[in-house]
Structure formats: structure tokens, C-alpha cells
Chains A and B, each alone.
Chain A
Amino acid sequence: MEDAFILKVNDISASYGQSKVLFGVSFNLGPHERIAIVGRNGAGKTTLLKCVAALLKPTSGFVVYEGEEITGRKPFEVARAGLKYVHQDKGVFQDLTVRENLKLSSYATGDYDWSKVFKYFPKLKILLDKKGAGLSGGEKQMLMIGRAILGSPKVLLLDEPTEGLAPGIVSDLATVFCELSENTALVIVDQNLSFISKIAQRVYGIKEGKMVVEISDTQEIQQASYSRFL
């Protein structure tokens, strides 16, 4: 029987040196599903994504992607397998042009079809020769997501994608994420509840390194207040 979930995070605990950050966190992600993880600063959201993307080795627990355990594998192997992480700091390569940023991703994935990137982010087409350092926050976010969707990843981990962006861009991103999920499952970590309520099919609340709530009813998600998740 085919597994209903493309990603399973089982009982993950993690720490930075002596400081424990995650305590037995679990969640599952179905193909084409959009889930969100909400929590205060320091709750362990980014740490959780890093554990899933193999950037941080959990102290216990394991991650299964497409039926295979990926805990302990190298980050580039996980990325090549189609599980991509989009960092929260709008970290495009500043000294490289938009074209070079996209080329890098194309070469790594063997996917040179940039039309899908321009379909979601047409603005990038006119910015191709502009260096990363000269892009606005929104343009950087577009480039990061555009770079990540090359190679048609099966799972995208998006860390605070709306942070510092203008409301108009946030609204556009919501539309893009909904369209993207036709082919890619999304895990979105964000604190913007109105954004989350527009796109998430399931929301987890994380507090002090523990999952404290899970809401899967769309209506309930739209009505939920921030305090519900904390």
C-alpha cells in the first residue's frame, strides 16, 4: 500500500550544545499538502525545519521522506532528493546576478526550464542581470523560492517567507503557494496568522519546543486567534 505521507517527522528532539530546543516533536505531511507551524520567537520552529532538512542532527527521533529515513544524511543529498529548505534570511547570493542564482539551481537539479519560475514571479525575468545585493526583500524572496522550485521538489520547507514583506507581496505569495502545492507539499513556518489562515490546510502550534496544538479544520484555522497556538 502506498504511504499517505511523503514526510514523517517522528519524535524529534534537538539541542544546541547543552541547551535543549525540541522535545519529541512529530508531524506528518501528505503529498500536495500545505501545513503551517506557528509559534513565538525561540519556540523551536526553525530548529525543527533544520532537523528535517538535515542541517541539524536531532538528538533523538527520525525523519522519513518518501519512505526512506533521511536522518543523518548530508543536506545536499536531501536537497537533491527533492526536499528543499528556503532559509528565513532572504539569503540570495549577493554578489551573483539573478541569472547566476537561477543557473546555480538549474545546474544542481538539471532543470533548465525557467518558465515555471517566471510564471509565478514574472518580475524576475526583468531582473535577470541585477545582482542579488540590489534586490528588495520581496524580490529576494521571489528569487529564493524561484531557485527552490527548479528541479520540481516534492517538499518545500519555507522558513518565515513573509517576514518583512509588504502586504501586497504577502498576498501574492499566498496565491503562489496555493498554486505550487499542486505539485509540491509545503511546510510553512510563519507568524503571520492571516497569511497562514489563507493557505494552510493544517496548522500546528509549537511552544517551548513541544507541539501543543494541531488544527486541521479549515474553518477553525480561519477563526483561530494567535493565543490558540501558544
Chain B
Amino acid sequence: MKLSKSMFFDRRYIIVVVFVVLYLLRYVLPEAFVLEVVIQSIYVMGCSFLIGRLGLVSFGQPVYLAAGAYGTAFYLYYVGTNPYIGILVGVLMGLMVSIVAGVFLVRLSSSYFTLSNLAFCAIGFFLLQKVLVKYTHGDNGLWFLSKIDSTVIIDLSTTKGIVYFSFLIAIGVWFLYDYLMDRSVFGAACLAVKINEEKLRFLGYNAFNVKWLAFVIANTTAALAGSLNAIYLGFVSPSIADVSKAVEAVAISMLGGAGTLFGPVAGVLIFIGLKDIISQIVSHWELVVGIMLVAIMIRGEKGIVGSLEGIVHKSITKNNNKPVSW
């Protein structure tokens, strides 16, 4: 096959390369770190999409993460032993929660949407910790690691299997978002919502449906990350939906570059990396990360990947008017 210049800039190839490089990092860095990066990246992807492509800042992401994690946990603790079915149940749980929550929350705009999601997250946490304690075992959580069956092809009862599977899932998720963001009419409609919702209606679009669908896709992605995390840890507790973690996904999205394809990966790498390194030196690592976040925001609202995108766009596409988007 003849290699063309444009092939190297096809983001689908870049996606594969990025995740293969990340996968190989497990031979240099701790496997747990690499796995955390990939699962967190999947988690942040939905949030980044909502902020960057629709202008919707959600402080409720932990509750969707928890929906996936608890869907998987309930299945593996109470019903069966197949981790693949567990993941499927977790994703379906996230899908249902997103569909129902979206009907109410997507009607709200700007800060009302943000704070209502936060409130929804608080409700979720309360339900898991107090109301459903009979099923969730409250703060003691659900332990099901020993109940996970070994499976054929990719054995999810082993860490190696989970790492491999998570990377395959991540590539699939990135292919989906690559299509959604820049190859589909839906992606354009999402951006149009962000720019001017009313004008999208002039063209015959039901803007609510566009936002609702985007909200469901984004939060089901978070639920998928929750499922993978639950399988990996073999444990889940209400702290996964803790309101104090609500800002994390938003901060990482902004750090990496909201709405960019690789922003979540860059954001998570830096965020978790810094957290791990700085927390060994000072106890209040949040302070350092906070200052860094403010500095990046002052330098430019596009985050790390967004800023790099601008620089590369200027240099590579000098003679080519085609827009570059990562």
C-alpha cells in the first residue's frame, strides 16, 4: 500500500499510535498507573466532549461513572460471574441513568445545567451511601474480585487481560469520538448548538434532541469507564460518586483541551502524573495542580492539546486551508 502524506495525519492512525505507545509504557511505568490513565481518559472523554463541543459543563460526572461501576458490581456480586456481561450491564445502567437524567437536565442552560448535575451527583452519592445501603453495603462497599470468572480470548480475571481489554476499548471509544466530532453531521450539529442554538432550529433541528443525544453518549462513556474500573478493582464503594470529585473531570478536560480528541489523554497523564509525583514531595498536591491549571487557563482557554493544535495548524497548513483538529 502506498503511503501518502495525508495518511500520517489521519487521526485514526494517530489514535492507534498513541494508544500503542501508551500500552508499551507499561514496561517502563507501573502497570496500575498506565491502566488508571487509560480508564480515566475514557471517563474524561465524555466530559471533554460536552464542554468543548456543546458548551455544557457538567459537575455530575462521578454519578455516571458510579452508574456503570455499580451496574457491573451488582451483576457480579448478586447475579453472575461473567465480567463481559458485567460490563454490558454497567454500560446499560449508565445509558438508562443518562437517558432519564438528560430529559430533565439538558433543558437547563449554562450554570443551571452545571449545578443541577452537581445536585444530581449529590443525590446519587446519598442514594448509594444511605438509601440503598442494603444492596450497596454503604461505605464498606461491594467486594467481588473472587467472583469474576476467567474468560476466553481476553481473560478479564487477570490484570494483564484487563489492561489489554481497556486499551482495545479505548481505541474503539476514540474512533467513535473521532467520527462524532469531525466526520459526522451530528458533530457539526453539536458545535452549532454551542455557537447558537436558536439558529440551529431555523435549519429544522430539534436542538434539545441534539443535546440530549450528546449528553447520553458522553455519560454512557463515563459509565463504561466505571465498569472497567470496577472489574479491575473488584470492588466498588459510594466514594466513586463523591461530590468532591465532581470538579476533577472538568479540570482534566480543561487542562488537556476540552473538545479535542487527545485532550483527555494529555490531561489525565499530566493530572495523575503530577498527583503521583507531587504528592510524594508535598502533602497538598491539589494546590500545585490548581496553580498549574489557573496558569494554563490564563495562557489560553484551549488547554495543552488545543494550544498545540493551534501551533501545528499554523505550521503544517500554511499552504493548505484544511482545518486541523486533534
Contact = CB atoms under 8 A, between A and B. Distances in A.
Interface of A: 53, 55, 74-76, 79-80, 84-87, 91, 93-97, 100-101, 103-109, 129-131, 147-148, 151
17 contacts: A75-B202, A91-B196, A91-B199, A93-B192, A94-B195, A95-B195, A96-B192, A104-B185, A104-B192, A104-B200, A104-B203, A105-B204, A107-B185, A108-B203, A109-B204, A131-B323, A148-B202
* 7 A-B pairs with least C-beta separation: A108-B204, A79-B204, A107-B185, A80-B204, A75-B201, A100-B188, A76-B201
A55 B207 CA distance: 14
B316 to A, nearest CB: 15
B192 A79 contact: no
B205 interface: yes
Residue of A84, A107, A148 with highest tally of chain B CB at under 10 A: A107
Nearest to A127: B321
Interface residues of B, number: 21
A198 B203 CA distance: 28
Nearest to B187: A100
Residue of A86, A95, A97 with highest tally of chain B CB at under 10 A: A95
Interface string B203-224: 1111100000000000000000
Contacts of B322: 129
B203 to A, nearest CB: 5
B210 to A, nearest CB: 10
B301 interface: no
Given A79-B203, A105-B204, A106-B185, 6 more contacts: A94-B195, A96-B192, A97-B323, A108-B204, A109-B204, A130-B321
Interface of B: 185, 188-189, 191-192, 194-196, 198-207, 321-323
Contacts of A151: 204
B201 A79 contact: yes
Given A103-B185, A104-B188, A129-B323, A93 B204 contact: no
Contacts of B191: 93, 95-96, 100
B130 to A, nearest CB: 41
A94 B206 CA distance: 20
A84 B76 CA distance: 54
Contacts of B206: 74, 76
Contacts of B194: 95
B110 to A, nearest CB: 18
Nearest to B194: A95
Contacts of A106: 185
Contact of B199 (A74, A87, A95): A87
Nearest to B321: A129
A93 B187 CA distance: 13
Contacts of B195: 93-96
Nearest to A106: B185
